[in-house]
């Protein structure tokens, strides 16, 4: 079975860029109503941005030069220039591949950026290879220090940084993005920023990575959520240190990341018997699938676990089968129930197995389906699950073959989300979503309290993302949503913003500065970013 296509064919681009214009129009005179910028005494001579991937300009699953140049701090710095702002330096990558060479044995290089291939996001190098086109080499090497010539960078945005990393000494050796800009192996991100004596700062999306790692791994426990008490301590500490040097700045809260398309694009029921590509194959399997699950469903019914019943429809879209670790493990009951059934041995024999294999098969069914259930609309499948649904899990295949099952039969019982329940790492259950929300709400309570106590400007990113995920956010006539590819706000990785999204974020920050400090960026002429000046995706030809 082919893996589920989670986007489909992209609509033809709708734009007005090709419309004819009258090039003979008279020159328009300067607007007599132009409004001068008034910073109301704010000092932007040394603006420092401190944060994680949003601050760095990370987009389309990578960090690359064009994306960095359209980062929201760089946009802000251009607007601050008109109010006496100083130079703004970024640790630019060497190219626009998005990749980075990691000169450490056993550690993979960072991947190329994502592009849209007309049907789905795809890594640039894979796309070009499939076309038979030359693939540009990655020229950024994490082992080459940008600080060797004495360079210091005012954008201290480091992809992957959690709240606990901001003031972690030695973090440069753990994160190559910070390592290539750090002027000392022991300096922390916070120390690096403060040492530049900022006159104004932005501290943004702190806490995002503290829940993101847990979410993108389906809450499987490999990347735990930072405890709220820990976040509260480190966030208060970093703001106290920053404001001791620069009492004026902007902080943002953390969006509810489960509103992002990384978690909302793949539906819970992608198995469509009417799909023009995969439907016929699925339909042919459904009678056998329902026979297989029929015996297990009888055990579910006997135990009163009717929510676990798995049955495939020949007419409607079907949910994937998942393993829910929140469920009571009833492996033993399934094994015992199957062995007590008079129809189980004939069932085993119909697959070409001897009657003596019945205990083994019953045990395997118990092992595979003891915590299985169909996904529901309340479950969130991570974006990467689209690449495995319906595919054969080789680990399961080899395991079943080691137990004596023929390869063909082992393959039939190793189809991800169909006969093999999707593992925890592919799905966020409601319980795991609640853990994320509880932590996010706790972080945001701390952030709001600190912003108020320190009299800092504040941007509610959570509210902005919520608006985008429901009604959409209007930006210069564009309605930006969280839809993957077509929404305009979120980049192709389903998590980070597009450059237009970062321009919107810059404007929201400028509006917060006006509200808190009495400046007039939102009303002064040309003091806000224009949506049309920032793309929502980058061309594969960008070198």
**pLDDT score recorded for residue 19:** 34
What Rg value do the Cα atoms of the chain yield, rounded?
27
Question: What whole-number distance in Å separates Cα of residue 455 and Cα of residue 133?
Answer: 54
**pLDDT score recorded for residue 444:** 98
Strands (E) located in 20-106: 47-51
N-to-C CA span, the chain: 36
Which residues make beta-bridge pairs with 322? 373, 422
Full-model pTM: 0.92
**pLDDT score recorded for residue 10:** 33
**pLDDT score recorded for residue 543:** 83
CA distances from 117 to 14, 133, 492, 539 (A): 17, 14, 11, 10
Question: What whole-number distance in Å separates Cα of residue 52 and Cα of residue 150?
Answer: 23
Yes or no: say if 260 and 465 are a contact pair by the CB < 8 Å rule.
Answer: yes
**pLDDT score recorded for residue 9:** 33
**Residue 90: Cβ within 10 Å count:** 22
Question: CB-side exposure of 365: number of CA atoms within 13 Å?
Answer: 24
Q: What is the DSSP string of 305-371?
A: -GGG-----SSS-BPPEEE-TTS---HHHHHHHHHT-TTHHHHHHTTT--GGGHHHHHHHHHHHHTT
* Phi, psi of 266, rounded to the nearest 5 degrees: -80, 120
CA distances from 235 to 190, 213, 280, 458, 516 (A): 11, 19, 55, 15, 21
Per-residue model confidence as pLDDT tens digits over 161-197: 999 999 999 999 999 999 999 999 999 999 999 999 9
**pLDDT score recorded for residue 181:** 98
Question: What whole-number distance in Å separates Cα of residue 217 and Cα of residue 335?
Answer: 30
Structure tokens at 430: 């409601």
Low-confidence ranges of the chain (pLDDT < 70): 1-32
Residue-wise burial string across 403-417, b where 16 or more C-beta atoms lie within 10 A, e elsewhere:
eebeeebbbbbbbbb
Yes or no: say if 327 and 427 are a contact pair by the CB < 8 Å rule.
Answer: no
**pLDDT score recorded for residue 1:** 41
């Amino acid at each position: 079975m082919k893996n589920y296509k989670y986007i489909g064919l992209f609509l033809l681009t709708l734009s007005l860029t090709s419309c004819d214009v009258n090039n003979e129009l008279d020159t328009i005179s300067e607007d007599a109503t132009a409004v001068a910028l008034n910073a109301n005494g704010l000092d932007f001579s040394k603006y420092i941005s401190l944060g994680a991937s949003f601050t760095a300009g990370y987009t389309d699953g990578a960090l690359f030069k064009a994306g960095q140049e359209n980062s929201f701090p760089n946009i802000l710095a251009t607007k601050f220039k008109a109010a006496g702002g100083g130079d703004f330096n970024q640790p630019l990558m060497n190219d626009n591949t998005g990749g980075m060479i990691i000169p450490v044995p056993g550690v993979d290089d960072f991947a190329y950026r994502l592009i849209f291939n007309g049907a789905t996001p795809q890594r640039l190098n894979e796309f070009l290879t499939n076309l038979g086109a030359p693939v540009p080499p990655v020229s950024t090497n994490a082992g080459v220090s940008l600080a060797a010539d004495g360079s210091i960078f005012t954008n201290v945005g480091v992809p992957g940084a959690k709240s606990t990393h901001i003031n972690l000494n030695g973090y440069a050796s753990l994160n190559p993005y910070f390592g290539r800009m750090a002027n000392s192996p022991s300096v922390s991100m916070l120390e690096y920023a403060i040492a530049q004596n900022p006159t104004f700062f932005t501290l943004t999306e702190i806490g995002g990575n503290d829940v993101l790692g847990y979410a993108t791994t389906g809450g499987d426990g490999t990347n735990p959520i930072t405890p709220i008490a820990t976040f509260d301590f480190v966030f208060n500490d970093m703001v106290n240190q920053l404001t001791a040097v620069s009492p004026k700045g902007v902080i943002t809260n953390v969006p509810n990341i489960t509103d992002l398309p990384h978690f909302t694009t793949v539906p819970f029921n992608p198995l469509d018997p009417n799909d023009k590509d995969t439907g016929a194959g699925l339909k042919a399997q459904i009678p056998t699938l329902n026979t297989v699950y029929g015996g297990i469903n009888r055990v579910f019914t006997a135990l009163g676990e009717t929510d676990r019943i798995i049955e495939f429809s020949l007419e409607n879209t079907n949910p994937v089968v998942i393993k829910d670790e929140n469920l009571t493990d009833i492996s033993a009951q399934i094994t015992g129930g199957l062995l007590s059934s008079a129809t189980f041995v004939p069932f085993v024999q119909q697959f070409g197995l001897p009657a003596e294999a019945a205990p083994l098969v019953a045990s395997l069914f118990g092992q595979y389906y003891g915590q299985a259930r169909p996904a529901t609309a309340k479950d969130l499948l991570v974006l990467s699950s689209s690449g495995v649904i319906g595919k054969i899990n080789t680990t399961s295949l080899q395991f079943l073959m080691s137990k004596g099952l023929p390869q063909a039969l082992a393959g039939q019982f190793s189809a991800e989300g169909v006969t093999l329940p999707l593992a925890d790492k592919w799905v966020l259950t409601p319980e795991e979503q609640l853990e994320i929300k509880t932590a996010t709400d706790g972080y945001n309570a701390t952030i709001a309290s600190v912003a108020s106590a320190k009299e800092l400007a504040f941007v509610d990113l959570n509210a902005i993302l919520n608006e985008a995920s429901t009604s959409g956010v209007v930006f210069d006539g564009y309605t930006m949503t969280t839809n993957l590819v077509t929404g305009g706000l979120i980049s192709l990785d389903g998590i980070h913003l597009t450059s237009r999204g970062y321009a919107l974020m810059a404007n929201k920050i400028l509006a917060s500065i006006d509200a808190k400090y009495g400046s007039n960026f939102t009303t002064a002429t040309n003091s806000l970013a224009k949506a049309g000046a920032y793309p929502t995706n980058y061309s594969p030809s960008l070198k």
